[in-house]
Structure 1
Amino acid sequence: MKNAEAAGLPTLDSGQAQQVGKQADRDQELSLAEGWRFDFGPGDAAEGYRSVTPDCRYNADKGYGFEAGGSVYGRDRRLQDDWGMTAEAGSMAAPEGDAVGTRLRASFCIPLGAVFRVDLPDGTYMVTLLAGDELADTHTVVKAGGSKRMLPPVRTVAGQFVEHRFSVPVYGGMLRLAFLGKAPRVNALEIVPAPQTLTLFLAGDSTVTDQPASGYPYAGWGQMLPALFKHDVCVDNHAVSGRSSRSFIEEGRLDALLTRLKAGDFLLIQFGHNDEKADPQRSTDAHTTYKEYLRRYIDAARAVQAHPILITPVQRRYFDEEGRLLDTHGEYIPAVRELAGECGVPLIDLAEKTRALLEQAGPEGSKELFMWTLPGEYLNFPAGTEDNTHFQETGAARIAVLVAEAVRELRLQPLLMYLR
């Protein structure tokens, strides 16, 4: 194989090569600043957009595409009319003369349980989704990382196109968006850096955490919370299953959270389930060490002028013979209430709110909130489960609504004005 000089092609000396490398870096920085724009569906991409066809599979060199698994189909609604003439199906939905808008609306992907991956530097991003179909009603559910509900279900009627925005944190150099629903559509995505976005951080245990998609319908209330806020708020959930107020700190998880926590952000803190256990690595005393560890979260947030909020632990599903909920947390609930008063910290009393919710649902109705599933009901739990501590998606969504309700009751600004 001939080298460039032997082939008569222009060559670069070391100085020129260095300049080319610097220009490539500047081009990449410009791309990062402007964001990424993707046009989904068959055919050529709209001007200024990258094409994502149904067979666009992820590879590291390209840095984006659909991951293996799931199914992706596509339509281009530029149809043939009765006389064989080409008609632009999206032309009535976009403003007159908007060629890019018309093109984006004319074609789309139908991702059935598919995950679209984009390699991005770690940080906070705002995502804009365009969804709709000229000829059919649509129903699309968007989850980040496979499980975190980012929007309420996106519904459109035939001929309607909508834009929805949400903010999302990126870790590990990638953003993974799962698309589900009864009739999902993705026409276009735009992803732009949003480092100054107000962030709502969560520290907690399995009742709060983002449960993996492989555990569906198992869910923590934190993974359902993003759908309740507008794009002005990014929910960054650091809760991890099995952690107590003590082990979360001693494993360095609070320190990791603090690397992103900034002035004006919020930190929601809910522990208790694992503090109560007789485990020397996790246990705390309700009257002493439990409050001492919780105080460290409060002090750390205030040190960077962020806003800490204490949350009492959610109730477990245990009833007495008269249908009244039995408390399993003992002194841990009053300890959180006392600490909130001592430190002047807002308190979301989820223990009380979930007690009222479960008693209203009753011993049988409350099973639909928790991981009580029948054999064969869910693929991930073929033998069924009877779990009185952890929620399925329905229950997690109800708890997230209770958290949003508390934000309204406490009038926590600016979170209050950013609720959907």
Structure 2
Amino acid sequence: MINRVSTFSQYQNLTSNLMRKQGAVNNTNEQLATGKRIKTAGDDPIASVSTQNYKQQLVQIEQFQKSITLANNRLGTLETSLKNVESHIDSAKQKVIGMINGAMAGDDKTAFKNELESLYEGLLNLANTQDEGGNYVFAGHQVRTQPFVEGNDGEVAYNGDSGHREARIDTSVHVKTSQPGDLVFTGMNNPFGDFRPDYQGLQPESGLSLLSATNQDPSDPTNYRVEFAEDGAGGFTYKLFNGNNQQLDSQPYDPAKGVQYTDPDPDSKIQLSFQFDGELKDGDTVSLNRTDTIDLFQTMNDVIRYSEEPTSSSEARASLQRSIEELNAAYVHMNQRRAEVGTGLKTLETYEAQHLDFELSLNKAKGSLEDLDYSKAIIELNEDMLALQASQAAFNQTKQLSLFNYL
């Protein structure tokens, strides 16, 4: 009987060693195919944990980048709308300046009125601008509600709120991507101060207009009225009334000082200062309505209302001059709103660059842990192949050994 020299235990050891060598070759081949050194956490537990952390940060950066892209689109739409509003305001102002020109013919004024009505409609459409998602840009948080609606009386009502939409572009950084319509179109600073003049009480050929009107008491909602009268000596006196038609003061009028009034009540903070310009006429009356802000649509309606009035009308001339001042203030206001958008766009640009740099650093760090060193892997593959071939040769020789070979 012929017996094998190798025992079952030796055979089993050789088989296991051959399988390990084959597994090492397969593993290296798979690494070369994928370019990754780590396939499972067991390959390198410490590096695997760090790699997962890097991947989570990269996912977060991707979310921030998508948010930045969306914010850029929204701010781009907002900036374009504000730029067009500026253009409409400037055009309207030029038309008003032309209408004040006394040499303008009636047909010219009618044409200007038509153009002003077109500008008004354009402003209303711009105020109801929608973004790529159909959301109203100037509606605050009420993005599905049309913010500005014109009533049957010609008054424009705002149906949005005072909120700002925001985009999160970093862990604790948010950028405003919208501006509410009440701020943009109805919240412009009053160029005269705290009151808006009403010139319906001016006499024919009067050249009176308001320069400024302030009240040191911000909580006083009272409207006032100033009446001028000749004093019989070549000068004028004025009477000051409140909204209840109560006379508060009567003094000689000094154009350099204007109308000055301090409430005699020691607990009151009311202190009025009204400055006027232009030639007075006996009986001139100016009503001063308390308002801290102006409404662009009201200004445009006033312009259209007085556009066909004769230039000899003191009320029309003074009211159109008031509109010019308000349109100037509106233009500055829109420029400020655009500057705010520009600041937001600059912030997005800065954080986008930061995220790209950080993403590059994270990928580099992650790659140093999980990416394969090809030159090293090829050397290891060659070594494993040689070891596998040697093991296969040894196995083949060993399994054929028997006593018969030595007899």
Q: TM > 0.5 between the two?
A: no
- Relative contact order, higher structure (CA 8 A, sep 6+): 2
Relative to its length, the structure with more strand (as a share) is 1
Bigger Rg, which one: 2
TM-score by length of 2: 0.22
